[in-house]
A and B are shown apart, each in its own frame.
Chain A
Amino acid sequence: MPSHDVLIIGAGLAGQRAALAAAQTGASVGVVSKVHPVRSHSVAAAGGINAALNPEDTWESHAFDTVKGSDFLGDQDAIEIMCREAPEEILWLEHAGVTFHRDDAGHLGTRAFGGASAARTYYVADITGQAILHVLYEQLLKHHEQLDRYEEWFTVDLLQDDDGHCTGAICRNLRDGHLEVFNAKAVILASGGAGQVYQPTTNGLIVTGDGIAQAYRIGARLQDMEMVQYHPTTLAGNGLLITEGARGEGAWLLNAEGERFMERYAPNKLELASRDVVSRAEQTEINEGRGFPDGTVALDITKVPRRRTLEALREIVNIGRDYAGVDITREPIHIRPGNHYIMGGVKTDTHGQTNVPGLYAAGEVACVSVHGANRLGANSLLDTLVFGRRAGEHAALNRARHTTMPLTRPARVEDTERYISSIIRREPGGRRIAAIKEELGEIMNRYVAVFRDAEGLATAHETIRRLKEEAAKAAVDDRGAVFNQDVIAAIELGYMLEVAESTIVAAEARKESRVAQYRLDFPDRNDGEWLKHIDLSRRCSTSS
């Protein structure tokens, strides 16, 4: 039975940063990830990371933009911490080896991003997330003596003692299928978002909301679950992301008539207006018949000098070529709004603590809340790093040092064992997992996306209840132990349905419109009644 002062679940940016911070204090650290750490979805972040590091820029300006971008729903104490600590974090990354873009004088260079009043986005070509993730992994390898890595281990359940403290987790080694109890004085959830709840989405197949559901099941509060961000530029067809960096570099949005329609919706910021504004503008163009027949509008990157595109947007050049057959340096590419990010998650304070003692959360799985009703581009990587580090430090110094190592009853594993073998031994004849998942994604995209109303939400909710029943009996083909991905898919489907339901419940509750939550039946923002978060917990749902 592995035991660690701090157990971290997830090895994306938040998890790896938390691990390094905790290890730095001398704590023993274990990091569990269901995929090899460098496969974590942070790898896909292309655009960059915000910080007011430039002497002419100020953290106050960054914070102001973030508060305003969040439509005032973000918590300003948390936003202040994030923006103040951002410059330090960038420098820490730079010293660790991230190959940030330089200006001519060899200093860190920036690019402009939507919703920001200064060019404060630091980046590595268009592989910013990849570069940071891989460099953090280099650091994990460097500190291998203090850090145990459990790569390709799937966390199934969080453990809780009789007093309600979180005491570790039960994980399955995907290689041979065996279950193991991980004891820990503190557990940090860093298991990422839940994009797969929607179809199409820019998120990878592994982004299935596991941590949100697991925390919810042991009594943690969820917050802002109705706030789901759609990204304005995802590729027609499969939802692959065209980074905001493209618009940052000067690309235009055009409707089928060739009109630069953002001139009508946001005459000042144009394509660099915040994501919800651009997404709704596009959707309106499409709904009103000014889109292309495939339900899209066009992004014209030929406005950017070709050499610049090839240097700074190389990944997008590849995506255009490989997935749309388009050379983006020579012709516009068809795009539409698509699911991208969840602002909500497991509610934490600014040290990453949840309401369950011993359980922390950081990164996209968590809601501090710095993004409120809308995340600004390039603020999420920052969120994962700053609050990942803070959670790692706090868990090691304030929790682990004052707690004794818990010991879990072996019988507890048997429950999970039984649960998994009940999946493996299911009667044949159930609906296929992939079909249930597809219907889920489609329903969410239709009723719980950029435009919502009571009727649609009710339909969605009803569907989810049915899907939950179907999921409990869904067909499983694989009865083996080695890399049984079928069983994992069945468990993940359960998590996704839980997350979907909480999003719908929160969206039904919020009877106003605020950025990501746009209710056709309550089209106005209502600060009098709704300038507040919605918290959900297992037994009841209340607003706080």
Chain B
Amino acid sequence: MAQTHRSVAPLLDIELIELDRAACCGAGVIAEHNSVLDAILKVKADTDGSIGVRCSCQQGICGSCGVRMNGKPGLACNTHLDEAARRGAGTGWNPPDEGQQQETVVTVEPMGNMPVIRDLIVDMDAVHWRKIHRVTPWLINKEPIPEREYIVPHDNMVDVTQTMACIQCGACVSDCLSMEVDPEFIGPAALSKAYRFVGDPRDAEHHERLKDLSEDEHGIYDCTHCFNCIDACPKGVDPMSQIMRLRRVAGSDFDIEDRNNGHRHERAFVKNIRKNGLLHEADLLPDSYGGKLDPHALPELLGSLPTIATALARRKITPKTALLHTHKAPKEVKALFDEVDGRETRNELNLYVTGYEDDPVHPPHTDEPTPLEPPGPTEAKDDRSEQTVGAADREPPAETSAPTVGAEDVPRAGAEDQEPPTSEEQE
């Protein structure tokens, strides 16, 4: 049986007894398919109706039930009890080591970074929705508005549908590291929403949006790449990736200056490798600030003097290598750069579509959880054209030409013979 007590409000501890058999949630249900929400609702139903929790769909689509479970944010309704328990109380993001005793208590807490209203209910208006408002969250139509639909490439639509899949649950906001430090940071969910418009060819103000989000000190350059939002998101929106894409589009397509200089640094890096084959660090820093002669570069160089001094002292660099870099990039490296440059479009990774037609067919069900999650960013290597589906697959394979309709299939005499009566006759 599940035992629950409200230790210190607003906490809720669900103790799982008999975890293996998992009769933890009432009649006829099995623990591995029982969610944390099932357990909360069970307690609410049987013992304490006053526990406050938002929920509706019970299928991870309405976005109501964002909470922290054993320290990790997510949806209570699509987190299995045993999975939540496996995280171990207090270990946060880290799963237990192999062989380690599984926790039998799931501690449920309200999400972070937002004020608590009651029990598991947080004030999303004060934080999450306010930030959504910040990004002008509606389409600004490209004129002229066509008479019929806008013509938009299939892949573009699939692409923005990844951010459209956000259910506004706030799980990513809950554990965003930057937001902890800077509560004004626009944050992962709202910036993903911004990409939904920047990536939408029907929107007229890509440039204005990007400029705005770049210039705001709480904007796209305020993210610290902590990955928490990617781990938290139950819908594979991958907010951090969307933020990085906003940065790339801003820098590469619109030449918008990067507050952190990251874009120029990236370019300097590419230029450096292309020329030298190996990294020539002495050029990298000034180039990142526009070259040795750029006025921005001097203060940065001065600021870096201690680092340079240490490097010299430790013989990581010598005065000679610092000034004269003799290594030349081999042909293979040049060829790689030429190939990438020769492409007409920049290939963005779309994580929304996963899996391949030619995947090896696994044997039917095993007890191993099937990794259907989108690949993590470190495995990200494929270009989008491989990930989206060819035209042939996209046509519904169903027969669509059969002229008969529902009524004729009713296994009952007489249905086909009826003439459709008029509405007056029906009254």
Residue positions of A touching B, CB distance < 8 A: 35-36, 38-41, 43-44, 64-65, 67-69, 71-73, 75-78, 91, 94-97, 99-112, 114-119, 124-125, 127, 130-131, 134-135, 138-139, 141-142, 151, 175, 204-206, 237-238, 240-241, 247-250, 265-266, 268-269, 272-274, 276-277, 280, 304-308, 310-311, 314-315, 317-319, 321-327, 329-331, 374, 376, 432-435, 475-478, 480, 482-486, 489, 513, 515, 523-525, 527, 531-533, 544
Contact = CB atoms under 8 A, between A and B. Distances in A.
Contacts of B150: 94-95
A105 B151 CA distance: 8
B61 A130 contact: yes
B336 interface: no
The 10 closest A-B CB pairs, nearest first, are: A274-B406, A434-B45, A97-B139, A478-B50, A204-B56, A266-B409, A477-B49, A250-B397, A115-B406, A142-B138
Contact of A117 (B80, B389, B403): B403
A39 B389 contact: no
A319 B151 contact: no
Contacts of A544: 427
Interface in B350-390: 352-357, 359, 361-362, 364-365, 369-370, 372, 388-389
B391 interface: yes
Given A104-B154, A268-B402, A477-B50, A139 B61 contact: no
B62 A43 contact: yes
8 contacts: A68-B406, A72-B426, A119-B396, A269-B406, A307-B357, A331-B365, A432-B46, A533-B426
Contacts of A317: 372
B54 A75 contact: no
A138 B138 CA distance: 5
B396 A112 contact: yes
Given A107-B151, A483-B121, A478 B138 contact: no
A273 B57 CA distance: 27
A131 B406 CA distance: 28
B200 A311 contact: no
Contacts of B57: 39, 41, 43-44, 204-205
Contacts of A314: 352
B402 to A, nearest CB: 5
Interface residues of B, number: 101
Most chain B CB inside 10 Å of its own CB: which residue of A311, A319, A533: A311
B82 to A, nearest CB: 11
B225 interface: no
Contacts of A323: 33, 59, 78
Contacts of B58: 204-205, 238, 240
A103 B394 contact: yes
A321 B370 contact: yes
Given A43-B62, A91-B149, A306-B355, A325 B414 contact: no
Contact of B418 (A204, A237, A322, A527): A527
B49 A268 contact: no
A283 to B, nearest CB: 13
Contacts of B403: 117
Contact of A36 (B124, B359, B404, B425): B124
Interface of B: 29, 32-33, 44-46, 48-50, 52-64, 78, 80, 117-119, 121, 124-125, 132-133, 137-139, 141, 145, 148-154, 156-158, 160-161, 164-165, 167-168, 200, 202, 352-357, 359, 361-362, 364-365, 369-370, 372, 388-389, 391, 393-394, 396-400, 402-415, 418, 420-423, 425-427
Contacts of A108: 149
Contacts of A513: 412
Contacts of A435: 45
A175 B151 contact: no
Contacts of B415: 71, 525
A365 to B, nearest CB: 16
Contact of A67 (B133, B164, B202, B420): B420
A531 B425 contact: yes
Contact of B59 (A124, A240, A331, A477): A240
A112 to B, nearest CB: 4
Contacts of A65: 405-406
Contacts of B421: 72, 527, 531
Contacts of A106: 151-154
B33 A101 contact: no
Nearest to A69: B406
B400 A112 contact: yes
Contacts of A523: 412
Given A117-B405, A476-B49, A125 B161 contact: yes
A121 to B, nearest CB: 9
Contacts of A374: 406
A205 B56 contact: yes
Contacts of A206: 56
A274 B357 CA distance: 31
Nearest to A307: B357
Contact of B158 (A64, A68, A311): A311
B407 A100 contact: no
Contacts of A280: 411
Given A68-B407, A325-B365, A477-B49, 8 more contacts: A69-B406, A99-B200, A119-B396, A141-B137, A307-B393, A311-B158, A475-B49, A485-B52
A247 B397 CA distance: 10
Contacts of A240: 58-59
A304 B48 contact: no
Contact of B148 (A91, A127, A265, A524): A91
A64 B420 contact: yes
A274 B407 contact: yes
Given A308-B393, A310-B355, A41 B56 contact: yes
Contacts of B54: 35, 39
B154 A75 contact: no
B32 to A, nearest CB: 6
B409 A269 contact: yes
A143 to B, nearest CB: 9
B78 A322 contact: yes
Contact of A151 (B48, B125, B133, B396): B125
Given A71-B407, A96-B139, A130-B61, A330 B149 contact: no
A141 B396 contact: no
B149 A100 contact: yes
Given A91-B148, A322-B60, A329 B355 contact: yes
Contact of A115 (B45, B78, B405): B405
Contacts of B80: 322
Given A35-B64, A205-B58, A480-B50, A127 B165 contact: yes
Most chain B CB inside 10 Å of its own CB: which residue of A35, A39, A206: A39
Contacts of A130: 61, 164-165, 167
Contact of B139 (A116, A138, A376, A475): A138
Contact of A318 (B60, B362, B397): B60
Most chain A CB inside 10 Å of its own CB: which residue of B137, B149, B151: B149
A139 B138 contact: yes
A310 B145 contact: no
Contact of A330 (B29, B364, B411): B364
B164 A124 contact: yes
A238 B78 CA distance: 13
